[in-house]
Structure 1
C-alpha cells in the first residue's frame, strides 16, 4: 500500500514538472497558429522524455549516484564545467520564465502589473526552499497542480473534430509560414525535454532513498506520469485551436490573449482556472528549476546537498538556489515580457539538448555504475535516436529563431 501511494504521488509529481509556462505558451501558440497540426512534437518529445526520465531513475537506483555525479566522474571536470555552464544558462532563463508566469497569474486576478509581483514571488519561492522539505515541495505543490486537468475537461466540453485532431499526430509540412511552424515545433520539443527535469528526477530518487525495489515503480512513474502530462499539454493545444482561430487570433503576442482560453468551455470560472493553472504549475516548476540548479552545482563540485537538510548543514547548496533566484527575478522585475522570454528560453533549451542527452549513452552502459541494470538494445536505440534528434534540433534552432521566431 505504501509503495502504491509513492507511485501515485510520483505520477502526480511528474505531471507537475511537465506542465509549466513553456508548455502553456508553446501549446497555445501552436494551436492558435496551426490548429491541431503541431500535436506531433508533443508526442515525440514525450516518448524521448519517458526514456530519459526512466534512465535517470534507474541510474540513481543502481549506482546511488545522480546524473550530475555520473557526468563528473565519467567524463571529468572539463566536460562537466562546459555542461554546467550551458545548462545553467538554460535553467536561468527557464526560472525567469516561471517567475514571470506566476507574476502574470497574480496580475490576472489582482489587476496589479506583473513586474510588481516579481520580488514577492521570488521571495516566496526562496522561502519555501529554505524552510521546506523535499516531500513538501514535490508532492504538495504537484497535488495542487492537478488543477491543470481543467484543460482536459475543456476539450471534452468543446467536443473537437477527433479525426482532425488525430491527423495532427502525424508530422506534415504546413500550408503557411514553414519557418515559423518549425520554430514553434522546436520550442515545443524544448519545453518537453527540459534538462532540469531529469536532473531533478535523479536527485529526487536519492533524496527519497529509492532502492532496487523501486525499479518497477520508476518505470511506471516515468511512463504514466509523462504520458499524463502530455495529455494535458495536448489538451491546451486542442483548446487553443478551437478557441483562437475562429476569433481571428493566429499570432499570440502576450499571455493576456491566452488568459480567456477556457471561458468558451467553462464560462467565467475558466478565466480563474487558467490563472490558477498558470500560477501553480509555474510555482512548482520554479521550485524544481531552482532545486535542479542547486543539485547540479553541488553534486558537480562534491558539496553537501539535500533539500531535507537544514541550510546550515549544506550552506553552499542553499547559496546556489538563493543566488540563482536572485538573478532570475531581475528581468521580470524590470518588465521583460514573460511570453517572449518563455518562447526564447524554450528555443535555447532545444539548442542545449545534446549536452544533457549524450551522457546517457555512456552512463547507462557503464558496468561500474549500473552493473546488470545497464541499457538493453531498446533503450540504447532510443538514446541514439534522441541524440540524433537533439543534434538536428540544435543545428536548426538558431536559424529558426532568427527567421521564424
Structure 2
C-alpha cells in the first residue's frame, strides 16, 4: 500500500495533461467515430498511445532539463519569426478550442438542469479564470489532479451500455481500415484531437512550475537528480496518457454500443452525444456522460488558456507561472483571461461550433508536425540538453510520432 501511495504522489503534470486531452471537443470526436464506425476504429486509439506518450515525455524532459518552457527554448535557439508563427497559430487554435469547450459545457449543464446555456458557458469561463488567478499553484494543481476522476464517468457509461465485448476487443486489437475519405478523415480526426500542441506547452510549463514549487534547480544544472526525475516523468506521462487513451476508447465503445447499434451515425457535438444516449441507454448513462463533459471541460479550459499564457509570456520574456501572485505576473494572468473571454465570445457571435472545431483541428494538425520537429531538434541537441539529450527508444518514438503527424498534416489537405 505504501508503494502505491508513493507512486500516486509522483503523478502530476502528465496525469493532468492526459486527462485534459479528453476535453469536450475530443469527446465529440470520439463519439462521432464510435457512432459512425461502431467498434471498428478502436484500434486507432491504441495506435496513438505510444506516439502521444513519447512526444509528451519529451516535452516534459525539455522543461525539467532546461528549466524553461517550449516558447522560451524556441526564443533562445531559433529565429524570432518561427517563434511568432508558432505562438500565433497556437493562440488561434486554443481560442477556438476554448470557445467550443465552453459552449459544450454550457450545453451539457443545460441538458442536466435546463436553463440559459450561454449564461452557463459564461459562468464556467469566469470560474476557470478566477481559479487560475487567485488559487495558489499548490492547491490548484491538487484540484486539477483530483479533477481527473471525472473521466471515470465515461468508464461507467460502458457498463450500462450493453457492449458486445467480443466485437469491441476485435475492433481494438485488430486494425480494420478501408482506404476511403470517411476512414481517412476519422483517423486524421483521432490523431489531430489526441496529439495537440497545447499539451506540449502545458506539460513543459508544468514541469518548470514543479521545480519552482519544490525549490530545485533544472537538471542541466543539477544532473545528479536526473535518474529519479526522468523516471518520474516517464511514469507520470505513461500513466497520464494511458488514462487518457483508455477513456477515449471507452467513449468510442459506449457510443458504438448505443448510437451506432441503433442506427445513429452522425454526432455533431459532445452534448448531442449525451442527449442521444438517453433514450437508448437510459437517464443514468446520459447523466454520467453529461457530467463527464463538464468535468473534463473544467480541466481542459484552464489548460488551454494556461498553455497560451505560457507561450505568449515566454515569447515576450514576461514574468510567468501559476506559482506567481497576480501582481507579480499581470501580463501572464491577463493572457489567461483574454484568451478565455475571446473563446467565450465565439459562442455569442454566431460562429458555427462544428466548423470552429474543424478549423481548430486543422490548425492543430498543421502546427503539431513542425513544432514536433523543433522539439525533437531541441531535445536531441547536446548544446541545449547537455548529457541529458534524448536518445534511444524515446528518441525513436518521438521521431515516429513526428512522422505520423506529418502525414496527418498532409492528409488535412488531401481529404
Q: How far apart are residue 165 of structure 1 and its match?
A: 2.2
1:208 aligned onto 2:210: yes
Change (3 A) 1:325 1:166: same
Q: Distance in 1 between matches of 2:25 and 2:272?
A: 16
**Equivalent position to 1:101, from 97, 101, 104:** 104
| Cα distance change, pair 99–388 in 1 and its aligned pair in 2 (3 A) | same
CA contact (8 A) 2:111 2:275 kept: no
For 2:42 and 2:181, locate their aligned partners in 1 and report how far apart those are by CA, in whole Å.
17
For residue 178 of structure 2, the aligned residue among 174, 177, 182 is: 174
Change (3 A) 1:364 1:118: same
Partner residue of 1:66?
69
* 2:372 pairs with one of 344, 357, 361: 357
C-alpha distance after superposition, 1:280-316 (max 9, x if no partner): 1012100001010000111122111111211111111
The 1:324/1:154 distance shift into structure 2, 3 A limit, reads closer
CA contact (8 A) 1:255 1:339 kept: no
Q: Select the residue among 295, 319, 323 that pairs with 1:280.
A: 295
Equivalent residue for 1:304? Answer: 319
Aligned residues: 398
TM-score between the two structures when normalised by the length of structure 1:
0.90
CA distance in 1, matches of 2:351, 2:111: 17
**What is the rounded CA distance, in whole Å, between the counterparts of 2:126 and 2:163 in structure 1?**
41
SS at match of 2:140: helix
1:118 is displaced (CA, Å) by 2.9
Report the more deviating stretch, 389-398 or 256-265: 256-265
1:242 to 248, 257, 261: 257
1:93-242 alignment to 2 at 5 Å? Answer: 93-158=96-161, 160-169=163-172, 170-174=174-178, 178-209=180-211, 212=225, 213-242=228-257
Q: Is 1:48 aligned with 2:51?
A: yes
Deviates more, 1:310-319 or 1:256-265: 256-265
Q: CA shift at 1:41, angstroms?
A: 2.6
CA distance in 2, matches of 1:121, 1:333: 15
Shift of 1:235: 0.2
Change (3 A) 1:254 1:92: closer
CA contact (8 A) 1:187 1:347 kept: no
Say whether the 8 Å CA contact 2:24–2:297 is kept in structure 1. Answer: yes
* Aligned CA-pair RMSD: 2.3
Q: Distance in 1 between the 2:350 and 2:137 partners?
A: 32
| Alpha-carbon offset, residue 343 of structure 1 | 4.1
> Residue in 2 aligned with 1:403?
none
Query: How far is the alpha carbon of 1:204 from its aligned partner?
Result: 0.6
Task: Give, in angstroms, the shift of residue 181 of structure 1.
Answer: 2.4
Q: Structure 1: how far apart are the matches of 2:87 and 2:282?
A: 46
Give the drift of 1:349.
1.6
Of the structure 1 ranges 106-115 and 306-315, higher mean CA displacement relative to structure 2 is found in 106-115
> 1:10-89 maps to which residues of 2 (within 5 A)?
10=13, 12-89=15-92
Cα deviation, residue 20, structure 1: 0.9
Q: Does 1:315 align with 2:330?
A: yes
- Measured in 2, the distance between the counterparts of 1:139 and 1:341 equals 32
Change (3 A) 1:142 1:387: same
- Asked whether the equivalents of residues 98 and 282 of structure 1 are also in contact (C-alpha less than 8 Å), the reply is yes
Unaligned runs of 5+ in 1: 401-405
Partners of 1:295 and 1:260 in 2: CA distance: 36
C-alpha distance in structure 2 between counterparts of 1:289 and 1:381, whole Å = 28
Are the structure 2 counterparts of residues 94 and 256 from structure 1 closer, same or farther at C-alpha, using a change threshold of 3 Å? closer
Which of 273, 276, 298 pairs up with 1:258?
Answer: 273
In 2, are the aligned partners of 1:290 and 1:321 still within 8 Å (CA)? yes
Aligned counterparts of 2:275 and 2:120: Cα–Cα separation in 1:
21
Kept after mapping to 1: 8 A contact 2:162/2:257: no
User: 1:186–1:347: 8 Å Cα contact kept in structure 2?
Assistant: no
Q: Which runs of 4+ in 1 moved over 6 A?
A: none
Structure 2 stretches lacking a partner, 5+ long: 217-224
